[in-house]
Structure 1
Amino acid sequence: MFLASSAKPIDENLKKLVDEIEAQSPSLSVLAAREFRYSLRQTPVEVNIKEPRQFNVLEEFIIRAAIEFQPPPTEDELASVLGLDSVFIKTTTTTLRSLQTLSPTSPLTVTPEGRLFYEKGSVPQPPYPIQIYAITDPLSDKITFQSESLNETTISLPDLAEFITLDNTIADIASLPIEEIQKSIQASGLALHVPEEGKIVTSCKVVASTQKIWRKISLFIIFDALEDKLSIQIRNGKQILESASNWLELLHTEGKISLQALCKLSTETINFQREAILKQKNTEIESRLEKIRQKALAATKATGEGDNYKALGEAVQLRDGQISLAFSEVLNSAKSQILIYSPWVNQAVVNEKFITLLQKLANRGVRILIGHGIARRQEDEDKPIPPEVEKKLRAIKTPDGLASVQVFWLGDSHVKEVIVDKQIHLCGSHNWLSYRGDYLPRGESVYKVTIPHQVQEAYEFLANRFQNHAQKLWENALENRNSQLAIESLCVWGALGMEDIALKEIQKNNWLGLLPVWLNVALQGLKSKNLSGESESFKTALSLLSQVSIEEAFIEELQQGCRKVIGAIAINNPKTALNLLSDEVWAQFLRLSIAQNSDSPDNFISQYTKTGN
């Protein structure tokens, strides 16, 4: 038995957060949680900012002449051309030189900065100073800037630096290149350096001594039973500090930090906890299946019937040859979603007949998630899925060209389950995708369950595994900017009815090239009636159109996606579709040629309600 929470090295102030972490996913167990303090360095600095103003007629003429005349004129030559006293010209050029728009030499020469401002119809104003604060964080190894000073507070907690070597070297802000400071200011979210608006930080200087500021952080040691993996998390409140967490994990892997010293967690305790947790998780799965068996057994005794195929209340026991027939019937009954977990997948089951069945389901808008694997590591699988089988499964598409079947190695599971539309659950000893069941009887049994709470329990367990996999795919896609992995993530989220999560990730990471894919995913949800046209996700998705250029490579797919989604909503509820086409959205529809300039929102909607297309 693994340790109770009270016996774990968990600080009192973190117990509530530990409960929340473990509640988020049944596979996670927090082995230890401790609070520490660590020190930031705060340095007051003064930055000079240059902003543009619209140039006057004479300034415009002088700059234009300096750019276009060959050779460039002198002040006297320009005064002669304009018929003005050279004093006026020289006064203006002196101003332009002080603003670094013109070079200090003669003839008149426009500086690169001056050209940038000229293209925007402006000249820079004299720079003005603003005091901000440079914050050096040894955990993130970054310098950030903020407008308000951090408050000094007394924190009576262990100093993280006593356990981990932190680089508390005071950064020499004054020696940093201005380009690096500009980037850091932009990354900090301060609207002080905005080159596209002509607002530029031109210099930075330290104006007061550096202060030490203490901050509180929390360290969590978390075991994931699904991945059989130990991870270290650093959090500021509930926010996970990714870079700091990754750094500590690296130090731990390299043997440079001790979990015993950090949180009184020995290697022996970790191994003991790991084995106990894995055993507990497997016991939970077996317990769920045992409930189903007992339900069927009790019903059998109550009816006095010997025929195991007879419906026993809401649980039906199937044996041998009955299993494949029921499997086919249950799949054919699907209206929107199928989840399958089979330790092995081979050509004996996934043959042309089975592929044809899945394609028919895809044509009806059914989305299918298949998980497989029994080993804890994919490379340790004795019977991996044949590549040609996986290729055929992945080639199954919806009528709109979206992958309908997602197949993944999840591993480390003996369960053999099928869940259809969250209403029917098949579970037992039958290997769904590696044994047809029409050979010699092997004494296998399967339960067909329609008991709502038991089906829901099974669904949540299996869906959680697919959801975790989708999240990992997405993180990998972000790291490598791999659009194919990103699309797979969106398809899994869509199949699980989590279109809102998919859209939030697209929006958060500004990956607008995936918006057409999301619209296609959402379209499947609309067609299967699992996603309402009144979902806030559609308003959010359409609001993102303002950030898309008509020149984007994906513009045609985006145009088609918007039309299909609005059309699908309009067929069922024209008013809802019309409400989505607000003035702002309609302006984007016209700008991006989603609708024709001669159209109106009413006419645009009516073409779908009249034809049903």
Structure 2
Amino acid sequence: MFLTSSAKPIDQELRESVDKIERQSPSLSVLAARSFRYRVTQAVVQVTISESRKFNILEEFLLRAGIELQPPPTEDELAAILGLDSIFIRSTTANLQGLNILTAASNYQIQITAQGREFYNIGSLPQEPKTKEIFAIFDPLTENILFDYSPLSNLKIGNIPDLTEAININNIFNFSSVSIEELQQLVKNSNLGLHIPDEGNLVTSCGVVASEILYQKISIFIIFDSIENQIKLEARRGNKIIQDASSVLNRIVGESQVLLQSLFELTDEEIRYQCEEILRHKNVEVENRIENIRKQVRENALLASQKQQSSDSETKNFESGTAVQLRGSKISQELEKILDSANSQILIYSPWISRKVVNNEFIKRLQKLAEKGVWIIIGHGISKSEEAEERPIPPQVEEQLRAIRTREGLPAVQIFWLGGSHAKEVIVDQKVHLLGSNNLLSYRADWRLWDESVYKVTLPEQVKEAYEFYAKRFQAKAKQLWSQAIQNRDTTLATEAICLCGSLSLEESALKIIQQYSWLELYPIWLHMVSQGLRSKQISPSSAYFPVALSLLSQISSDAAYIESVREAWKKVIGRIAYLSQDTALKLVNDSWAEFTYLSITQQSIRSPAQFISKYIMARQ
């Protein structure tokens, strides 16, 4: 039986969080969510910190004299050179000797020690060590040690399950076993400002004063991702995801399914059944759309019969927003016609893709569309995992599709395995929708196949519903690509994410990510992506993100490795904006003229924004 939300093992206090997760990411379904308590070790520790300070002018002069002058001068000689009373020199040398920076010489010469040379090279002096009490917390679930100035509170958690009864974790930790090197790194990572080697602050020792065991609370969610067709555990405190704890839990689950049974009273069979039902339910959504369209077709046919419409009037009625059924060879003919009519976007889902349809002629058709500003998004797959596909996309076909480029050289076709669906659908410019039983990218229908049918729909509500269904799946894929790209600082994945954002009209989201992570190497790629949208007029020249994009020029150096790409990209972008609206282009350039000049986006011979606009305005392409 497919469990409703109320029947799932979800704690009442977590239902709002569950609703939020599923609302924000339609591909995610929460199978269970419960809160647990577990024990952590907290210790009061005393750390010793060695600090240092910058040399003052006199100290630096004394050390420099001891290093560079041969033979080294005496205290009295330095006093005479500087015109100071000898008492000031002797007081300073005595202080430096006490810190083992200088050594006492019988002839009062300035003699620097080996340690003194090291400190001179880094420009600082050691100070008297200090001690400070802080709190060390060992969290066995995250396997981390954290240091803080404030202690954890022993929460009054109430009667909730103890996580340690289901998971064998060691909640006792011996802080004295931590080496000084490990200690220094842990304190540094805790951002307490105690161990900062570059500033001369070093933690040199640590001793435990007292320790205790405390209870903490954590919420664990079992989440099924229908796009990836996988289950994951997510640990949270409030709305914050605890990544380290999530990783530990997923590792344990990977080793044994017993954890899910003991924590949530769900068997492996029950979980598998729930996942299958979720996937089936998502396919039912597609079938329901088809049934609604069949109903509309029947209503149109009845209306046509009643009014005795001619074929010409039928066509007119269809174009105003109806649905018609296609069979046989008309399917392929209409597919080609609709693809060729695209102005900005083509979205396709097909369980299979074959050379029979995606042949050289089809590739040339898509390349021609890409050159006029059209993005193409393709999802494919019917199995629950990509490895389980019996008819995977031929590598040569996928390679040809990925080789289709925009005029700026970006991938114009975004193709992804999504899986778990037998839908066959094409949506063009969010205005025309083809769907039905014919495998549009794997079989070319002809006049003999009257058992195959496709509906051509221009009903705004139905087209919008279909588009939003797939757009959410591709948006989830874009989010996944960004996550992987950011984690590995992978420019190739980031480029793929930017192009997918462009194809889904998410240009602003992509720009925000570039800003957030200061990944300016992606800046010219974003500009090239925007050029494609301007070419198709999908992007408005007055879009609010253009001034934001221009503001990033102040963060770019004139000798950046990617500066030439930035220069050429802005010339094209401004040219395309100027073609659509010269006033808008003039204002954008005028507001950023200083940056255009500094970064040599404009040439020295061009003395005004108006001249720049007139030079780079592009004719309609």
TM range (shorter): 0.7 to 0.9
- Count matched residues: 603
| Amino acid paired to 2:180 | P
Q: For the Cα contact (< 8 Å) 2:154–2:216, is it kept in 1?
A: no
Where does residue 342 of structure 1 map in the other structure? 350
1:402-417 paired onto structure 2 within 5 Å? 402-417=410-425
The structural deviation recorded for 1:580 is 6.6
The answer to whether the aligner puts 1:420 opposite 2:428 as a matched pair is yes
Q: 1:206 to 1:605 in 2, by over 3 A?
A: farther
Residue 348 of structure 1 contacts residue 434 of structure 1 at CA under 8 Å; is this kept in 2?
Answer: yes
Tell me, in whole angstroms, the C-alpha distance in 1 between the residues paired with 2:574 and 2:195. 40
Unaligned runs of 5+ in 2: 106-110
Contact residue 224 and residue 231 of structure 2 kept, 8 A: yes
- Return the alpha-carbon distance in structure 2 between the equivalents of residues 500 and 103 of structure 1: 64
Quick one: structure 1 residues 484 and 442, their matched pair in 2 at CA, closer, same or farther if it must change by over 3 Å?
farther
Which residue of 101, 104, 119 maps to 1:114? 119
Q: How many angstroms apart in 2 are the aligned matches of 1:599 and 1:75?
A: 66
1:216 corresponds to which residue?
A: 217
Sort the Cα spacing of 1:183 and 1:494 in 2 relative to 1 into closer, same or farther, 3 A. Answer: farther
**AA matched with 1:299:** N
Task: Tell me the distance in 1 between the aligned counterparts of 2:599 and 2:522.
Answer: 16
* CA pair 40-70 structure 1, distance change in 2 beyond 3 A: farther
Equivalent pair of 2:574/2:616 in contact (CA under 8 Å)? no
In the TM superposition, 1:69-468 aligns within 5 A as 69=68, 73=72, 79=78, 82=81, 88-89=88-89, 91-95=91-95, 106-107=111-112, 109=114, 114=119, 117-118=122-123, 132-156=134-158, 157-172=160-175, 175-178=178-181, 180-190=182-192, 198=199, 200-203=201-204, 205-206=206-207, 208-255=209-256, 257-304=258-305, 310=315, 312=318, 314-438=322-446, 440-468=448-476
Please name the residue that 1:57 is paired with. 57
Quote the offset at 1:297 in angstroms: 1.6
Q: What amino acid is aligned across from residue 214 of structure 1 in structure 2?
A: Y
Tell me how far 1:320 sits from its aligned partner: 1.7
Give, in whole Å, the separation in 1 of the partners of 2:50 and 2:544: 40
Deviates more, 1:416-425 or 1:204-213: 204-213
**Aligned position for 1:497:** 505
Report the TM-score when normalising by structure 2.
Answer: 0.84
AA aligned to 2:173 is I
Secondary structure at the residue paired with 2:32? strand
Instruction: Classify 1:131/1:499 alpha carbon distance in 2 versus 1 (closer, same or farther; 3 Å).
Output: farther
For residues 51 and 520 of structure 1, the distance between their equivalents in structure 2, rounded to whole angstroms, comes to 51
Q: Residues 342 and 373 of structure 1 are in contact (CA less than 8 Å); yes or no, is this contact kept in structure 2?
A: yes
Match of 1:29 in 2: 29
Q: Partners in 2 of 1:427 and 1:247 — Cα distance?
A: 44
CA contact (8 A) 1:345 1:385 kept: yes
Deviation string, structure 1 residues 343-393 (Cα, Å, up to 9, x no partner):
222222223322222122211221111122222232333332222222222
Equivalent residues in 2 for 1:558-569 (5 A)? 558-562=566-570, 564-565=572-573, 568-569=576-577
Using the alignment, how far apart are the partners of 2:213 and 2:251 within structure 1?
27
Deviations 1:126-162 (A, max 9, x none): 6766654433322222223344443332111222222
Paired amino acid for 1:162: E
2: CA distance, partners of 1:109 / 1:473: 53
Contact residue 133 and residue 148 of structure 1 kept, 8 A:
yes
Taking a change above 3 Å as real, the CA distance of residues 194 and 375 of structure 1, as seen in their structure-2 partners, is same
| Aligned residue identity for 1:220 | F
Match of 2:17 in 1: 17
Q: Distance in 2 between matches of 1:604 and 1:66?
A: 60
Judging changes above 3 Å, is the alpha-carbon distance between structure 1 residues 591 and 103 closer, same or farther for their aligned structure 2 residues? farther
TM-score under structure 1 length normalisation: 0.85
How big is the shift at 1:63? 4.3
Q: Judging changes above 3 Å, is the alpha-carbon distance between structure 1 residues 131 and 563 closer, same or farther for their aligned structure 2 residues?
A: farther
Larger Rg: 2
Residue 519 of structure 1: how far off its partner (Å): 3.0
**What's the secondary structure of 2:439's corresponding residue?**
coil
Structure 1 unmatched runs, 5+: none
1:40 is paired with a residue whose SS is strand
Q: Percent sequence identity over matched residues?
A: 45
Q: Which amino acid aligns with 2:15?
A: K
| Cα distance in structure 2, aligned partners of 1:98 and 1:521 | 65
Q: 1:464 to 1:138 in 2, by over 3 A?
A: same
CA offsets 1:79-121 (integer angstroms, 9 cap, x no match): 3894677764454355456678779994455657635643xxx
2:108 is aligned to: none
Give 1:61 shift.
Answer: 2.9
Amino acid at match of 1:167: N
Partner Cα separation in structure 2 for residue 130 and residue 575 of structure 1: 63
User: CA separation of 1:344/1:272 partners in 2, compared to 1, >3 Å: closer, same or farther?
Assistant: closer
> Which whole-Å deviations, capped at 9, do the CAs of 1:15-49 have from their partners, x for residues lacking one?
11111222223333222110112233344455637
Tell me the alpha carbon deviations over residues 214-253 of structure 1, each in whole angstroms, 9 at most, x when there is no partner: 3321111122333332221111112222222122122112
**In terms of mean alpha carbon deviation, does 476-485 or 492-501 score higher?**
476-485
Taking the aligned partners of 1:181 and 1:581, their CA distance within structure 2 comes to 53
Tell me the equivalent position of 1:470. 478
2:157 partner SS: coil
Q: Secondary structure at the match of 1:210?
A: strand
Stretch moving more, 78-87 or 274-283: 78-87
| In 1, Cα distance between equivalents of 2:139 and 2:197 | 26
Contact 1:251 1:257 in 2 (8 A): no
Deviation at 1:328, TM superposition (A): 1.8
| Range that drifts further, 25-34 or 303-312 | 303-312
Per mean C-alpha deviation after superposition, the further-off stretch among 265-274 and 367-376 is 265-274
2: CA distance between counterparts of 1:103 and 1:545?
54
Q: What SS does structure 2 have at the residue aligned with 1:433?
A: coil
Q: Which moved more, 1:312-321 or 1:537-546?
A: 537-546
- 2:370 alignment partner, SS class: helix
Q: 1:566 to 1:195 in 2, by over 3 A?
A: farther
CA RMSD of aligned residues (A): 3.8
- Of residues 519, 522, 534, the one that matches 1:514 is 522
